[in-house]
């Protein structure tokens, strides 16, 4: 697994540093994305080009759009059709599909002539395109529908129907459960199609129901937020004005205008006293006081004082922060690892 790289900005151009703050890829690109699974994407001549962690551009072909690398493969778009490339940027599967999804469990769902099926990494159809909708495989099952806006069921990787199409909506399995909608409400089923959580929660607009993080999902009843476990047990009754996802065993909650954190037993381990807050990661969470951001640990000790204008959560033990419009990276003790250079304005008098 490659060492993590972090995006930096110098004189309006983007490059990358390593965890020590050493520049690995010189700032030279007008647009660049963060690294994911060993690759970034940069824009050249209005086309996206994959960039590997050695700074090499995969320019064998140029595409209008490039997906993230998943299972060593990335989907690519040329004009209105999709195909796939490998880690060297070579064509793995020719551009030919109307739509395409990432590879999951060595299969990808693709659309051809308005029908969805599943291909392997040779581009051969393992499951013929006969569905009006197809999701991703997880735990050996994928959601499908035979008719447009029709009921959703689940098939195995041979195309056998394992769970009959009985649901108004069905999402990809997340471990041993999948979120399904029946009679306008969502719940969980297991891999046998049995209800683990009876559909009882309303499907809210602009809110994907039943997204699971650390075996918990947010629930909403009458605009109040709580949590349900994948076992189907409501762990925290809806009583908050907002709730975020669990990470590092803690989740953001909001009461009135203030944010705090709860644990998986429902205890408010950090009382809602902050103006804003972000998720825990690497043992620390960003919190906002008096208009500035800092970081606390799980015991609510402020490890890094609130002095930043913007922050991200920690990733690979570094956090991206902005102070006085300058980009910076800090470690978990608040030590500056890298800082954007100040460019003085110059007035040229002719």
Give the domain ranges of the chain: 275-344
Give the span between the Cα atoms of 124 and 128, in whole angstroms: 9
pLDDT band at residue 344 under the 50/70/90 scheme: low
Asked if the model's pLDDT at residue 75 lies above 50, the reply is: yes
Give the span between the Cα atoms of 60 and 53, in whole angstroms: 17
Asked if the model's pLDDT at residue 267 lies above 80, the reply is: yes
243 closest CA partner among 297, 228, 170: 228
Residue-averaged pLDDT of the chain: 95
Please give the class, per CATH, of domain 275-344.
mainly beta
Asked if the model's pLDDT at residue 14 lies above 60, the reply is: yes
pLDDT in the model for residue 46: 82
Give the span between the Cα atoms of 311 and 275, in whole angstroms: 14
Contact between residue 286 and residue 278 where contact means Cβ atoms under 8 Å apart:
yes
pLDDT in the model for residue 48: 85
3: tokens are 């060492």
pLDDT band at residue 258 under the 50/70/90 scheme: very high
pLDDT band at residue 347 under the 50/70/90 scheme: very low
pLDDT in the model for residue 21: 97
Asked if the model's pLDDT at residue 348 lies above 50, the reply is: no
Q: Sign (positive/negative) of CA torsion 122, 128, 134, 135? A: negative
189: tokens are 């089923």
Whose structure tokens read 């690294």? Answer: 35
Give the span between the Cα atoms of 320 and 142, in whole angstroms: 36
β partners of residue 294: 287
**Mean pLDDT of all residues in 45-57:** 91
187 closest CA partner among 167, 206, 205: 167
Q: What is the pTM of this model?
A: 0.91
Which range, of 83-87, 144-148, 206-210, 248-252, averages the lowest pLDDT? 206-210
Percent of the chain with pLDDT over 90: 92
pLDDT in the model for residue 1: 63
pLDDT in the model for residue 125: 98
Asked if the model's pLDDT at residue 345 lies above 60, the reply is: no
**Mean pLDDT of all residues in 155-173:** 97
**Mean pLDDT of all residues in 51-64:** 92
Contact between residue 102 and residue 137 where contact means Cβ atoms under 8 Å apart:
no
Q: Sign (positive/negative) of CA torsion 58, 61, 64, 68? A: negative
Contact between residue 198 and residue 189 where contact means Cβ atoms under 8 Å apart:
no
Tens digits of per-residue pLDDT, 187-246? 999 999 999 999 999 998 888 899 999 999 999 999 999 999 999 999 999 999 999 999
**Mean pLDDT of all residues in 143-159:** 97
341: tokens are 């250079």
């Amino acid at each position: 697994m490659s060492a993590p790289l972090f995006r930096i900005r110098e004189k309006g151009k983007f490059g990358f540093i390593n965890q020590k703050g050493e520049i690995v890829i010189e700032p030279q690109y007008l647009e660049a994305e963060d690294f994911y699974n060993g690759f970034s994407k940069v824009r050249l001549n209005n086309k996206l080009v994959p960039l590997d962690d050695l700074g090499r551009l995969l320019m064998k072909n140029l595409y209008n759009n490039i997906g993230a690398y998943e299972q060593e493969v990335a989907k690519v778009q040329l004009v209105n059709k999709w195909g796939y490339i490998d880690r060297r940027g070579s064509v793995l599967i020719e551009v030919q599909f109307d739509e395409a999804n990432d590879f999951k469990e060595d299969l990808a769902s693709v659309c051809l002539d308005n029908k969805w099926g599943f291909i392997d990494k040779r581009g051969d159809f393992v499951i013929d395109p006969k569905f009006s909708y197809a999701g991703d495989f997880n735990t050996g099952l994928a959601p499908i529908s035979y008719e447009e806006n029709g009921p959703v069921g689940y098939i195995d990787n041979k195309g056998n129907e394992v769970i009959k199409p009985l649901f108004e909506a069905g999402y990809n399995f997340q471990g041993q459960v999948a979120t399904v909608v029946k009679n306008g409400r969502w719940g969980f089923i297991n891999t046998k199609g049995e209800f683990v959580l009876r559909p009882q929660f309303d499907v809210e607009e602009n809110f994907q129901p039943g997204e699971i993080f650390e075996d918990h999902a947010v629930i909403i009843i009458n605009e109040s937020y709580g949590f349900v476990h994948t076992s189907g047990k409501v762990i925290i009754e809806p009583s908050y004005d907002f709730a975020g996802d669990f990470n590092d065993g803690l989740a953001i909650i909001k009461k009135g205008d203030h944010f705090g954190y709860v644990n998986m037993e429902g205890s408010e381990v950090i009382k809602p006293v902050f103006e804003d807050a972000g998720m825990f990661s690497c043992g620390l969470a960003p919190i906002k006081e008096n208009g500035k951001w800092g970081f606390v640990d799980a015991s609510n000790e402020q490890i890094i004082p609130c002095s930043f204008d913007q922050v991200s959560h920690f990733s690979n033990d570094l956090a991206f922060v902005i102070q006085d419009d300058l980009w910076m990276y800090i470690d978990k003790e608040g030590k500056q690892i890298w800082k954007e250079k100040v460019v003085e304005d110059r007035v040229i008098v002719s």
